[in-house]
Structure formats: C-alpha cells, structure tokens
Amino acid sequence: MDMSPIAAGAFSKLLERTTGQELVAGRRWRIETALSPVMRAEGLETLDQLAHRLGRDEETRLAQDVVEALLNHETSFFRDITIFRSFAAEALPAIAALRGDTKRLRIWSAGCSTGQEAYSLAIELRRQAHLWQGWDIPIVATDVSPQAIARAREGLYGQMEIQRGLPIGDMIAWFNPEGESWRAKPELRRVVSFAVHNLIDATPIGRFDVVLCRNVLLYFPPETRRLVLEHIAAAMTPDGLLFLGAGETVLGQSDAFEADRTLRGFYRPKAR
C-alpha cells in the first residue's frame, strides 16, 4: 500500500510526541501491517486517509488507537536467558547484601509490555525462596501502552506466548490452564503491580533498588534516551542497579549512570 511522505511523517510525529519513541526508517515497513486493523475498523482504504483523519482535533481516540498499533510489544518469558540468569545469580544477591537490615527490595520492570518479564522475575524469586525468607520484594511493572498493561494485569497468555521461554515445570507450577490459554496463579500476580507510565514523564512512580529497562532505549532518539535515563536515575536509590538489554549501554548516552565495577553489564547512578 502506497503511503505519502506526509502520511509517514504524521505517524512518526504522533508516535514520538506521545511516547518519545522514534519511528526510524528501519521500522517504517511495519506501518502498513500495524495500521491495517485500524483502517478496517474505521472504514478507510489508504494510509493517507488515516493520516488525514488524524489531523482533526476531535480524533483523540483514533490517535490513541494508532499509537497502540505502532508500539512494539515484543517480549517473552525469561528473555535473553543467559543475561537473566546473571541478573538472578549476581545482581540480586549483591543488592540484597546491602538491604539485610531492612529486608526490603523494590524492583521496577520499565517497559514491561504484556508482563512476561515481571512474571519471570516473580518466578525467579520463588525459585530462590530459601534466600528470601522474611523479605518484602514488591515488583512494579510499567508500560506506556494501556492495552499492554491491561493484558499484563490479566496474566492470561495463549499457547504460543506461554511456550516462549517458559520451562514447562514453571508453566505447570505458576499458571492455571483456561481453555487453550494459561493464567498466572494468584500468588504470582499478587507480588506484581502494573501501571501505565510514560518514561518521558518526569512524574516519580517510586524509589527502586533494581530497575530493568531492557530493549526499550533503542526505540528513543539520543536526546530522549538521555532524558529517560535521567528520569530512571532519579527514581533509584544511590546504590541501586540498572539492568539494560544485551545491545544497550549508558556509555556515551548519559551522565546519570556509570558501569558497576564488579558486575559486568550493570550500571549504578552516579553520585550527585
């Protein structure tokens, strides 16, 4: 389907203005596929018609639908398993050693999509239950997408989703079958709280000892990436740990963090 440069620009500007994310040329091939359901629902035949409709002030609902469609919700349970194991085996014990007096550890899963990362964290903590007796470890998981957060709260996953990265033992232990889907058990869902939150928004959502913001920064242009990292640093304890995706780094991106000296691939807020 042909799309004029004006239409492409309208979609890109809407996404960046709303979420801070950049619809770079490499991602523009997704536009037609992503927006086809929106066009069908609105009875529109072309992307240019959709872009024209977006120009109307009263079309706020349509704008929200377009943004939701353009967001990338790619995720899975225990994504990048080697890195995830390093987090569980090295980072968690390191930060826990500093919290032995309070036995409280707050974790933030930023850009959590439909919740698989947050539930993976909860499962991992239960695997290590013998290490966390008497601890209070709330997990806060946020995403810019209201639709993704609604799905995460439901904790209901189709067969293909549940099989992506989740060992069968954990599936049986922590999920109940519902028809052809699987729902996270109440004891798993109760330790995770989900909320809609935009990372470009400076409004504080809490104070965290551990932040996972994996495979999110790569969607932001450099200046927005710097802003997001500053917001994350402001939401962390001075000795907290930041965990990014395998292809992400703060080096050259932000002055708010520095690489941890002992834990490779992890970052701490710089002293202010």
Q: Quickly state the pLDDT bin for 214 (edges 50, 70, 90).
A: very high
Per the model's pLDDT, the better-predicted residue between 11 and 86 turns out to be 11
Asked whether the predicted pLDDT for residue 55 surpasses 70, the reply is yes
The average pLDDT across 159-184 equals: 95
Q: Please give the share of the chain, as a percent, with pLDDT higher than 90.
A: 71
Q: Quickly state the pLDDT bin for 210 (edges 50, 70, 90).
A: very high
As a whole number, the mean pLDDT across the chain is 91
According to the 3-state scheme, what is the secondary structure of the chain?
CCCCHHHHHHHHHHHHHHHCCCCCHHHCCHHHHHHHHHHHHHCCCCHHHHHHHHCCCCCHHHHHHHHHHHCCCCCCCCCCHHHHHHHHHHHHHHHHCCCCCCCECCEEEECCCCCHHHHHHHHHHHHCHHHCCCCECCEEEEECCHHHHHHHHHCEEEHHHHHCCCCHHHHHHHEEEECCEEEECHHHHCCEEEEECCCCCCCCCCCEEEEEECCCHHHCCHHHHHHHHHHHHHCEEEEEEEEECCCCCCCCCCCCEEECCCCCCEEEECCC
CATH of domain 81-269: 3.40.50.150
Domain limits of the chain? Answer: 5-70, 81-269
> pLDDT value at position 27?
65
| Window from 32-41, 84-93, 120-129 with minimum mean pLDDT | 84-93
> pLDDT value at position 178?
96
> pLDDT value at position 93?
86
> pLDDT value at position 25?
67
> pLDDT value at position 35?
94
Q: Please give the share of the chain, as a percent, with pLDDT higher than 70.
A: 96
Asked whether the predicted pLDDT for residue 251 surpasses 80, the reply is yes
pLDDT digits (tens, 9 = 90+) for 225-250: 999 999 999 999 999 999 998 888 89
> pLDDT value at position 92?
86
Per the model's pLDDT, the better-predicted residue between 225 and 81 turns out to be 225
Q: Quickly state the pLDDT bin for 252 (edges 50, 70, 90).
A: confident
Q: Kindly report the pTM of this predicted structure.
A: 0.93
> pLDDT value at position 58?
61
